[in-house]
Each structure stands twice: as C-alpha cells, then as structure tokens.
Amino acid sequence: MTILRGTARILAAVTGLLLVYGITFSLEGMTTRVPISAVRELATGSLWTALWLLLFCSGLQDFVIVTRKQWVLWLGVVAATLFLYYFDRYTSLSLLTKAAMPPIAVGLGLMPHFVRRMGFVFALSSLGAGVVGAVVLYYFAAAMLSPTTHFATRTIGVLVVTFCLTGITSGILAVFDIYRRLTHRFYA
C-alpha cells in the first residue's frame, strides 16, 4: 500500500505542477503585466510551489520507506530541483525568483522529512490533493464527458484526468493510513 500511495502522490504532484506551469506559460502571452516586486514574486512562487513539493516529497518518503535507501529521496530532490529550474527558465519571472525559488520550494517541501514532528503535513498534503482532485473532477466532469466541449490539447485533458485520479487516490490512501495508525495505537 505504501508504494501505491507514494506513486499516487508523486504522479499527482508532477501532473499538478505541469498544469500550473501550463497556466503560467499561457499567461506569458499577455501584453500587460501587473507590476510586482521581485521579493513578493519570490515569496508567492516559493510558497505556491512548496505546496506541490510537499506532496512530491511525501511520495519520495514512501519510496524511502519501501526501499530503505535514502538515496531515493535525494535523487528525487535533485530531479525536482532540475525540473523547476528547467520550467522557470522559460518564464518571465525575475532573475531572483528564477534562481532562488527552486531550492527554497524544495527545502520547504523537505521540512517534514527532517523535522519528524511535522510528519502530519505529508498526510495533510495528500488529503489536500484528494480534495482538490475531487473538486477539479466535479467541475471538469461535464467538459470531459461532453461531445462538443474539448480541451485545448489532448495532453491537457490527460493531465487533468491523471491529476484528478491520482489526487483522489492519494487522499483516500492517506485516510486509510491515518485510520490504520489510529486503530493500531488504540489496540496496541
């Protein structure tokens, strides 16, 4: 069950990040831009991305539990950081945000790994992904099932469906894990 939960968390995080970057890239074509300071842009981008990386790092933590190899976590962290640098390269974000946001967001995503008392945040990120996946599925179900409504590309449709399914799966598996831990404590 841990490997399934980890896979669902990682897929939900990656598809969610790809959808967020897709929105960012589509907004890049706008001719007007609201002025914002580089520090505010960095804070907003880091916190928003850290939410997705909490989910990603919780999936990596599940793989570490299964494999008992710490290098799995660090390989995933390097991959996530490179992923963020690659996609930030093609945005019009400030140079400060492009340089500092990926390590800050990854660091925030790793906090529950280092501070064990914050481990519940990994479960909360899965529950949040489950709720968001259910809400997105509810609002996009009509568009997905309608013969006249289409997504911009098939890839976007696949990303939305994958995010919904993996987000809901990770949320359900987090609920089962919490229930299992509570009943184990109660009966132990």
DSSP labels, 57-122:
HHHHHHHHHHH--THHHHHHHHHHHHHHHHHHTTS---HHHHHHHHHHHHHHHHHHHHSGGGTHHH
Residue 85 pLDDT grade (very low, low, confident, very high; cuts 50, 70, 90): very high
Whether the predicted pLDDT of 82 surpasses 80 = yes
The residue ranking higher by pLDDT, 149 or 13, is 13
pTM: 0.85
- In whole angstroms, give the CA distance from residue 17 to residue 52: 7
Whether the predicted pLDDT of 179 surpasses 70 = yes
The structural domains of the chain, with segments of one domain joined by +, span 2-187
Whether the predicted pLDDT of 88 surpasses 80 = yes
